[in-house]
């Protein structure tokens, strides 16, 4: 369970986030969506204690992320950032074994090795254990990083854009693995995702941010609506039903007249621009 | 593009990497450590007994061995200190190019010594003994930690900027030192230069045990924390996620590095590229980048390199005074080659 109370964060004079109040219940997959600069990653890194908020409190599993002992926190919450470049040359097994550090402080026990093996198997990395990270493809490397976080065996797993740099096959496979981790391992997974359709298809909850504030949150059915998404992303979004999921379609607005000679209306593709506080236009859930 | 271009060499490197040797207790010892250790031992014995004018069966033989042992111990200590300092600095700063010495650490030491003599005159040099050296080192450590902690704390900092800043700082410290030295009286300058340009031949037996104690303590500490060091090497985000107080760890590491470099510089004066040379060789020779392997290999390689250099220069070329010049030449070449081939990453 994650509790966020009145958290805000400024960079120089501009407010990047907040004030944000949020509760994320245990279990399931929660997706943070929103336009660039909405504060998704900032919120995630504050919860993952990689960034200190200017004010407010964050509690994860009953521990305050600023004041709790780092070693205890590392057994409750793990976070994987988008960019992971290490100077050291590591094999996949070495990398995943780092996930056990909070538990064993580097001296791997039999139980630790078992956890590492399980994480490797869970992400289909068997056969790659002794390969160096720089010998892997982007998709394999990303799986190795996620395996490390899973080996840490925390209740809460935070992932900052785990789909970045993955092609559609690997992105879909990664979301399925994360879905399985939530269902089979009982993890509480919170991830930042750029493609709302992945959030719609795999997440239990979607939290939409814009300009540093939470503007909508709810189930995919509640969030995946044209008026909600259009307001959140400030761009015309259509929603279609496909295979039991709602998919956002926003690549090119459909012609507004019957003929193909349709002329773009002046007022931003015919959608009302919304610069007012977004809460006003978004139904509360 | 560069990743693809470098891919074949990476693969080749992997196949060239030597294997480890299993001991009866099932622990794997890197082959490089065994070879380097044997070479170091050989050169140390060679330095002690080779070319001894007194036959081995006379008591005079051992008197000479004993007097030489101070020099050998000094060499060994400096080599170990430089190797440890460089590897730990690389871990703390997340790069494998820049070393404390390249970033002007030695020049800072020279400046501190000069400034002390300048400010307090002969009084600064007349108080001899361990206490003074400790006080000087403490001051040096404080300054270095503040300076390099600040340099590497900014996230904007990239290696190009740091290298530039380091070079400028080094030159700047050197110029200020030269300026201050010009204003010293000749006798003060004499005392200062004796203090600054220590050498193996003028090893200080009085300081040696203390220096050995410090280096040994740090070596044991680093060895016991090798798993945490591996995690620190992953960088701020990963290390924090794995439960380390990253900032505190980095400050501690920088203090330790400052202590090691000031010990080394106190004993034999500045050595810009030796640490770099040893560290870069160690990374090549270990099969895994874990500190459990890198630290011992680096220390043993450092010992073998410096002892070997002295042995060869003394007994083959009869020019022991040139050792540091040769080491700096080779180390500097290696630095250029690495920068030109791999670039700053």
The percentage of residues in chain A with a pLDDT greater than 70, rounded to a whole number, is: 89
Picking from A222-236, B14-28, B159-173, which range would have the lowest pLDDT averaged per residue?
A: B14-28
∠ CA B311-B317-B322, rounded to 5°: 75
Nearest residue to A61 (alpha-carbon basis) of A48, A52, A50? A48
Which member of B96, B233, B244 has the closest CB to residue A70?
Answer: B244
Chain A residues with CB under 8 Å of B244 CB are 70
pTM: 0.82
DSSP A250: -
The number of C-alpha atoms within 13 Å of B180 and in the hemisphere containing its C-beta is 21
- The confidence band for B21, taking pLDDT boundaries of 50, 70 and 90, is low
Sheet of A55-60: strand order equals A14-24, A2-11, A55-60, A63-64
Least Cα separation, residue B309 to chain A (angstroms): 29
Nearest residue in B to A108, CA atom? B227
Neighbours of A258 (CB within 10 A): 7
- pLDDT at site B20: 58
Q: What is the mean pLDDT of residues B21-29?
A: 57
Nearest residue to B345 (alpha-carbon basis) of A135, A89, A146, A140? A89
Examine the pLDDT at B133 and tell me if it is beyond 90: no
- pLDDT at site A260: 44
- pLDDT at site B88: 93
DSSP A106: T
Picking from A149-158, B8-17, B198-207, which range would have the lowest pLDDT averaged per residue?
A: B8-17
* Residue-wise pLDDT tens digits, B65-105: 877 888 888 888 989 999 999 999 889 888 888 888 877 77
B343 vs A: CB within 8 A? no
**H or E element in which residue A75 lies:** none
Q: What is the mean pLDDT of residues B248-258?
A: 86
CA-based R_g, chain A, Å = 20
The dihedral formed by the CA atoms of B295, B297, B302 and B308, expressed in degrees to the nearest 10:
160
Examine the pLDDT at B324 and tell me if it is beyond 60: yes
DSSP string, B66-111: HHHHHHHHHHHHHHHHHHHHHHHHHHHHT-SS--TTTTTHHHHHHH
Nearest residue in B to A99, CA atom? B242
* Residue-wise pLDDT tens digits, A225-264: 999 999 899 888 999 998 888 999 888 877 765 444 444 4
Structure tokens at A167: 């092609």
Which member of B14, B240, B289 has the closest CB to residue A49?
Answer: B240
Task: Name the packing angle between helices B246-268 and B130-153 (round to 10°).
Answer: 130
Whole-number Å distance between alpha carbons of B242 and A142: 18
Examine the pLDDT at A267 and tell me if it is beyond 90: no
The percentage of residues in chain B with a pLDDT greater than 90, rounded to a whole number, is: 14
Picking from A58-62, A123-127, A256-260, B231-235, which range would have the lowest pLDDT averaged per residue?
A: A256-260
B234 vs A: CB within 8 A? yes
């Amino acid at each position: 369970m994650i509790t966020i109370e009145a958290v805000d964060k400024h960079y120089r004079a501009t407010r990047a986030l907040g004030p944000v109040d949020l509760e994320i219940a245990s279990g399931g997959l929660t997706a943070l969506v929103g336009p660039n600069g909405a504060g998704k990653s900032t919120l995630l890194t504050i919860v993952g204690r990689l960034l200190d908020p200017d004010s407010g409190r964050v509690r994860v599993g009953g521990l305050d992320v600023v004041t709790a002992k780092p070693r205890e926190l590392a057994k409750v919450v793990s976070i994987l950032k988008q960019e992971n470049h290490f100077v050291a040359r590591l094999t996949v097994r070495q990398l995943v074994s780092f996930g056990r550090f909070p538990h064993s402080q580097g001296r791997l026990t039999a139980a630790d090795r078992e956890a590492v093996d399980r994480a490797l198997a869970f992400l289909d990395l068997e056969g790659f254990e002794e390969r160096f990270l720089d010998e892997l493809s982007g998709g394999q490397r990303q799986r190795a990083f996620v395996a490390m976080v899973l080996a840490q065996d925390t209740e809460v797993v935070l992932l900052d854009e785990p789909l970045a740099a993955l092609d559609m096959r690997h992105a879909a496979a990664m979301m399925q693995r994360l879905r399985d981790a939530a269902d089979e391992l009982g993890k509480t997974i919170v991830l930042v995702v750029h493609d709302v359709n992945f959030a719609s298809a795999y997440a239990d909850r979607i939290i939409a941010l814009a300009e540093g504030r939470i503007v909508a949150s709810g189930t995919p059915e509640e969030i995946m609506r044209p008026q909600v998404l259009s307001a959140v992303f400030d761009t015309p979004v259509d929603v279609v039903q496909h295979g039991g999921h709602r998919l956002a379609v926003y690549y090119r607005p459909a012609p507004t007249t019957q003929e193909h000679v349709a002329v773009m209306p002046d007022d931003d593709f015919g959608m009302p621009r919304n610069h007012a506080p977004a809460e006003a236009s978004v139904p509360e859930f | 593009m560069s990743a693809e271009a470098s891919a074949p060499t990476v693969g080749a490197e992997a196949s060239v990497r030597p294997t480890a040797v299993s001991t009866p207790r099932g622990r794997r010892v890197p082959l490089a450590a065994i070879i380097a250790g044997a070479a170091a031992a050989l050169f140390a014995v060679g330095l002690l007994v080779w070319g001894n004018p007194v036959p081995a069966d006379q008591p005079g033989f051992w008197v000479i061995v004993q007097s030489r042992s101070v020099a050998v111990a000094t060499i060994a200590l400096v080599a170990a200190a430089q190797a440890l300092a460089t590897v730990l600095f690389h871990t703390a700063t997340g790069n494998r190019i820049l070393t404390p010495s390249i970033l002007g650490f030695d020049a800072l030491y020279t400046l501190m010594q000069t400034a002390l003599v300048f400010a307090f005159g002969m009084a600064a040099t007349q108080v001899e003994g361990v206490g003074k050296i400790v006080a000087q080192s403490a001051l040096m450590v404080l300054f270095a930690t503040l300076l390099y902690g600040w340099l590497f704390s900014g996230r904007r900092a990239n290696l190009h900027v740091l290298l530039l800043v380091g070079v400028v700082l080094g030159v700047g410290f050197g110029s200020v030192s030269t300026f201050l030295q010009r204003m010293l009286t000749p006798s003060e300058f004499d005392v200062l230069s004796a203090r600054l340009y220590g050498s193996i031949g003028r090893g200080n037996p009085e300081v040696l045990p203390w220096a050995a104690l410090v280096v040994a303590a740090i070596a044991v500490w680093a060895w016991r924390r090798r798993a945490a060091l591996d995690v620190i090497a992953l960088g701020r985000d990963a290390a924090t996620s794995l439960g380390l107080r990253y900032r505190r760890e980095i400050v501690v590491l920088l203090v330790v590095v400052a202590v090691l470099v000031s010990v080394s510089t106190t004993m034999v004066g500045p050595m810009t590229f030796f640490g770099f040379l040893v560290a870069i060789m160690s990374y090549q020779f270990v099969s895994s980048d874990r500190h459990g392997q890198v630290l011992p290999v680096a220390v043993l390689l450092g010992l073998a390199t410096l002892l070997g250099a002295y042995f060869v220069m003394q007994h083959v070329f009869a020019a022991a005074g040139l050792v540091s010049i040769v080491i700096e030449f080779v180390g500097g070449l290696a630095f250029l080659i690495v920068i030109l081939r791999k670039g700053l990453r």
